[in-house]
Amino acid sequence: MSAMRRVCVVTSKSGAYYSLVSRLRRAEVPFESLLPDSDVEECEVILTTAEEAVLFGDRAITLEELDENPGVFKGQILARLGSKREPILIGVDPGKRTGLAVFLGKTRLASSAFVSVHALRLRVGSFARKVPSESVVIRIGDGNRALALRLAEAIEEEVPDATIEVVDEKGTSYRSPKMKGVQGDAAAASKIAFRRGVVVNRTPRSRA
């Protein structure tokens, strides 16, 4: 099966088509557009509307259930393509501007930076709740341990079933002039996401 046919957009509704295609392009997910009366046998996942989903059985994902955030959207699609068994890995690089990087397995879903703990907490919660996976592991750099523990506590309140670790962040910072600001923060968070640390949850629970 061609990779380009793993995800198909099939709808007769122009507004829904535009919304789906726009989100797919922002999320950089390859797709193919097909007419409603096309042969969809080779489509692994079909993006459509709730009204039309009955035509495609369990391969359908509706516009109404997909998130508008490109990273969350991408995770929802990849999970249905077989990545649901992969863990969500989230790296956090604390600082005045806190870097965030989110992966489903080894596939990057998003990277950004936040100045608000509340905004960071909500974004992490959005990925954890809306992207299907068997586990969520959140790793926070220990460059500022007090801030790291504060973030861990805030995130645990938002995502009580995640495993939260504080990790040694030495060697994760980027000092290159080509990789600074938000890019540098997110790049450091990406390294932190794949570095094992010490679990700091009070009561980590299963997502089952």
Q: What is the DSSP string of the chain?
A: --GGGSEEEE-S-HHHHHHHHHHHHHHT---EEE-TTS--TT-SEEEE-TTTGGGTGGGEEEGGGS-SSHHHHHHHHHIIIIITTSPEEEEEE-SSSEEEEEEETTEEEEEEEES-HHHHHHHHHHHHHHS--S-EEEEEE-TTHHHHHHHHHHHHHH-TTSEEEEE--TT-----TTS-THHHHHHHHHHHHTS--EE--SS-----
% of residues, the chain, pLDDT over 90: 76
The answer to whether 8 touches 34, Cβ cutoff 8 Å, is: yes
Q: How confident is the model at residue 6 (pLDDT cuts 50, 70, 90)?
A: confident
Question: If you average pLDDT over residues 7-35, what whole number do you get?
Answer: 96
Q: How confident is the model at residue 207 (pLDDT cuts 50, 70, 90)?
A: low
Mean pLDDT across the chain:
89
The residue type found at 169 is E
Q: How confident is the model at residue 43 (pLDDT cuts 50, 70, 90)?
A: very high
Pick the CATH number of 88-199 from 3.30.420.140, 3.30.70.270, 3.90.1150.10, 3.30.70.260: 3.30.420.140
pLDDT at 136: 96
Q: How confident is the model at residue 56 (pLDDT cuts 50, 70, 90)?
A: very high
pLDDT at 186: 85
% of residues, the chain, pLDDT over 70: 88
Q: What is the Cα–Cα distance from 29 to 72, expressed in whole angstroms?
A: 12
The answer to whether 83 touches 105, Cβ cutoff 8 Å, is: yes
Interhelix angle 14-27/70-78, rounded to 10 degrees, is 90
Question: If you average pLDDT over residues 124-153, what whole number do you get?
Answer: 95
pLDDT digits (tens, 9 = 90+) for 116-138: 999 999 999 999 999 999 899 99
pLDDT at 201: 85
pLDDT digits (tens, 9 = 90+) for 158-187: 999 999 999 998 866 654 445 454 577 788
pLDDT at 1: 34
Token pair listed for 114? 């936040």
Lowest mean pLDDT among 42-46, 65-69, 166-170, 184-188: 184-188
Cα-based distances in Å from 41 to 38, 44, 135:
9, 8, 32
